[in-house]
Amino acid sequence: MASISLKAVQKAYGDQAPVIREVDLEIGEHEFCVFLGPSGCGKSTLLRMIAWLEDLSEGEVWIGGQLVNHVPAAQRGVAMVFQSYALFPHMTVYQNMAFGLKLAKTPKAEIERKVRQAAQVLQLEALLERYPKALSGGQRQRVAIGRAIVREPGVFLFDEPLSNLDATLRGQTRIEIARLHQQFKKASVVYVTHDQIEAMTLADKIVLLHAGKDTERYGSIAQIGAPLDLYHRPKSRFVAGFIGSPRMNFLPARVVAIAATHVSVRLDVGNELIEVAVDGSDLQLEQVVTLGIRPEHLAPCKLISLEIQAAQTITRNVSLIEALGELSYLHLDQPGGVTLVAKAAGDIEVKLGASMVFSLPSSSCHLFTVDGFAVAQLAPRPSTLPFAQESAACV
């Protein structure tokens, strides 16, 4: 059993404002849970409280059905892997991996068996006699993970384990960690990162923490859910803006009609009328709102005549084209407003400065109130539709 339960956990350093506020969280056995959020939002603090490296100011931590507030790290059945690897430089790979077991007075033959087994899983067999200085960053991180594996913990705690690696190694090691998790059987994983790609690809469950600037919500959980849940059904503008890259476009607007199946808003910039499939029962006419739409849902309409402004479309000038080959990002000028980003097919023919029409499918639009909360959606969120399919809607 290695489920984790945090109950009303709070942390303040000295008499400063709390860094972690009222965190309630359940992490199931074998679950891969990612703490995600911008730098300084309290991810490491929360992880360290699970590991006993940090005292709680208030609340309870339960591991495997046992209250562990006063149980030392060694008896919690957790193993932590740090960003900095924290290997002993004067010990070989083998000695580094065996160290914890030796301390625990594990019989020599068993140490040998466990270290060799972990080395095999992590492809470190040929490196066991090397010292850390003769290893690449990726190999060092594998040794650090190996050191955790040999202890066969119920819970693996990772604090930004990939952030010192270059992009290629980061990708490879990420896949290795995902594979390892499948082999861990009952062990659960808590993994801290500020990188949403890591979070989206590794997590069963993401815990997104609020950013530090928002003083009222600082240190609390913005949303908990499966990766695609946060992506398609963000509860707030903060979540919508944090998950997804390039980030969601936000357009200031005003409510002009409320119907059973949708709310119509008029955009401040461009003055276009857009229907959004949300439940408007708590909204009022003339209410100030923000319409959110992701770059991949802002679909270029190729065949439309510029003179006829079709429903559910906006017209903007292309100010920058980022051609990535497979796809292109079009940056769109907005007079007096922030630049919008639309995702288009890589072979789209666009001229810089050209005026283009984009459709905004009503079920792909989000609506946020001025205090940042998402208005409840009516239509189930579609999965990301291919560009051609969306643009066909306005031909």
* Residue 299 C-alpha from the chain's centroid: 25
Q: Which residues bind Mg ion (CB under 5 A)?
A: 44
Options 24, 39, 123, 257; binder of ligand ADP; rule CB under 6 A: 39
**Binding at 39: pick from ligand ADP, Mg ion, none (beta carbon under 5-8 Å per type):** ligand ADP
Beta bridge partners of 326: none
Residue closer to ligand ADP (CB basis): 20 or 291? 20
Amino acid at the residue 158 = F
Residue 42 near ligand ADP by CB under 6 A? yes
The answer to whether residue 43 forms part of the interface with ligand ADP (CB under 6 A) is: yes
Interface pattern 228-267 for ligand ADP (x via CB under 6 A): ----------------------------------------
Stretch that binds ligand ADP, among 43-51, 104-112, 265-273, 386-394 (CB under 6 A): 43-51
The overall longest dimension of the chain from CA atoms, in Å, is: 82
Q: Does 40 bind ligand ADP (CB under 6 A)?
A: yes
Check residue 45 for interaction with ligand ADP (CB under 6 A): yes
Smallest separation, CB 48 to ligand ADP (Å): 7
- Which positions from 8 to 37 touch ligand ADP by CB under 6 A, shown as an x/- string? -----x-----x-----------------x
Selection from ligand ADP, Mg ion, none that 40 binds (CB < 5 to 8 A by kind) is: ligand ADP
The residue (of 241 and 270) whose beta carbon lies closer to ligand ADP is 241
Which chain residues interact with ligand ADP by CB under 6 A? 13, 19, 37, 39-45
